[in-house]
Amino acid sequence: MAAPASPASSQVGRRIRTVATISAASALAAVVAFVVSILSARVLGPSGRGEVATVLQFAYVVAPFVGFGADRLLLRRDDRAHGLVPSVSAMVLVAALAALVAGLVYGPWLALTGVVALVTVSFAIVRAVAISRGRIAFFVAFFAAFQGSVLLISLALYFLGVSDWRAWAAAYIFPALPLAAWALAKARALTDARAGGVIETARTNAPFIASGLGTLAATRLDRVLLPALASPASLGLYIVVATATEPLYWVAQSVADQRTSETSGQGRTQVSSASVGKRLAVIAAAYALLGGIGGAVLYVLIVPVFGSEFAPARELVAPLAVAAVLLGCYRHLCGEILGSANPRRIGVVELAAVVIAVVCYPIGILLADALGAAWASAVVYLLAGLVAAGVLLRGASRGGDSGGVSGSDGGSEKDTSTSVEGA
């Protein structure tokens, strides 16, 4: 008779299954986005495709404020000790404010920003709960329903020949609303963090809000600025390549989030430059291989898939493939920090990423349009990764990541993490 599996091997197997499932689902989301990008690009052309992207990218930047960083908090198993989950009324209030501002400044259709942000937040919260609590079936059900609705509606619009970009933008929103309401209610029932109002939650969760904002500023600000500083057509060219490179980002983010969850579940989180460097080297090599293969395939397929009017997008493949690899490494380092005994240091890293993005993206776009934005994204991820590495290793050298004592922010936090077995 075969010996029963040890608890340690069972935990490893569970972690592998969680990462594999979340990564596969996230990669599938990127595939759906790529297919929808192809369909909409063929019907709308670069300009109309850029208009749809403008609505979505603007919403993604607003999302961290709507969600109050709850998705970052809920990746940890000790969420009660470090922050608050926003009440539904708090999220709706901030989303309505974002919709009002967007509608007044950019026009009524950009008011959909608030609705897209709510849907985006619900997806992020469900994903975080799935990783930290092992609720993978819940995540997969919500994910499949959401992505399936977007794909089916987009297929219908394509075969009906609908050329109004506003209809394509709406495809991401209205079917997702009931799913978002259900998912938020379900996720709240599975968490143990206390719910708070707007002011209290914003103040308590400030580092986690900064974390979400930093990620989205680094990955989305280029897409928000392109139509303003260049043209919607430039964004249309840019987005088809950027969307195609996103599977690597989502795999990397899933690995980073799992790292956050498993390290925050330990009583003492040990971090050393040697261990971080070893993990980062392995991950960087794997991402470089995937990025190189994916970039080569994409370069060959752009014109046959999207059409000859998208031929100029070929020059964006190399810089965006490099950027995807650097982004994966950066997110891994952030996952290490977020899972440490002093997760609030993540706010310093992500705020630095915002500053870097705000400086680099406008310069890149003004100098070289979409190509400048592509190379600027690689620079942003490289510099942000260096900041993350510095903060992580500085905390380790001070003992801030073992035993729950203070990190680089000078605060003091008792480590109240639960064990992996008890999660």
How would you write the chain as a 3-class SS string? CCCCCCHHHHHHHHHHHHHHHHHHHHHHHHHHHHHHHHHHHHHHHHHHHHHHHHHHHHHHHHHHHHHCCHHHHHCCCCHHHHCCEECHHHHHHHHHHHHHHHHHHHCHHHHHHHHHHHHHHHHHHHHHHHHHHCCHHHHHHHHHHHHHHHHHHHHHHHHHCCCCHHHHHHCCCCCHHHHHHHHHHHHHHCCCCCEECHHHHHHHCHHHHHHHHHHHHHHHHHHHHHHHHCCHHHHHHHHHHHHHHHHHHHHHHHHHHHHHHHHHCCCCCCCCHHHHHHHHHHHHHHHHHHHHHHHHHHHHHHHHHHCHHHHHHHHHHHHHHHHHHHHHHHHHHHHHHHCCCCHHHHHHHHHHHHHHHHHHHHHHHHHHHHHHHHHHHHHHHHHHHHHHHHHHHHHHHCCCCCCCCCCCCCCCCCCCCCCCCCC
Reported confidence tier of residue 6, pLDDT bands at 50, 70, 90? low
For 89-144, write each residue's pLDDT tens digit: 888 888 888 888 877 876 777 777 788 788 888 878 887 877 777 777 777 777 77
Side-chain-side CA neighbours of 3 within 13 Å: the count stands at: 5
**Predicted pLDDT of residue 230:** 83
* Residue 102 included in any domain: yes
Q: Is residue 57 scored above 80 in pLDDT? A: no
* Residue 59 included in any domain: yes
Q: Is residue 80 scored above 80 in pLDDT? A: no
Reported confidence tier of residue 383, pLDDT bands at 50, 70, 90? very high
Nearest residue to 69 (alpha-carbon basis) of 77, 79, 59, 78: 79
Listed range (134-143, 349-358, 359-368, 402-411) with the worst mean pLDDT: 402-411
* Residue 403 included in any domain: no
* Residue 414 included in any domain: no
Compare 34 and 91 and report the one with higher pLDDT: 91
Q: Is residue 242 scored above 70 in pLDDT? A: yes
Structurally, the chain folds into a number of domains equal to 1
* Residue 421 included in any domain: no
| Gap between the Cα atoms of 182 and 185, Å rounded | 5
Domain, as residue range, for 160: 13-198+205-397
Q: What is the largest CA-CA distance in the chain?
A: 71
* Residue 28 included in any domain: yes
Indicate the average pLDDT of the chain.
Answer: 77
| Gap between the Cα atoms of 70 and 192, Å rounded | 12
Reported confidence tier of residue 159, pLDDT bands at 50, 70, 90? very high
pTM of the model: 0.65
* Residue 169 included in any domain: yes
* Residue 410 included in any domain: no
pLDDT > 70: what percent of the chain? 81
Query: Mean per-residue pLDDT for 262-284?
Result: 68
Q: Which of 32-36, 214-218, 316-320, 396-400 has the highest mean predicted lDDT (pLDDT)?
A: 316-320
Q: Which of 12-26, 29-43, 126-140 has the highest mean predicted lDDT (pLDDT)?
A: 29-43
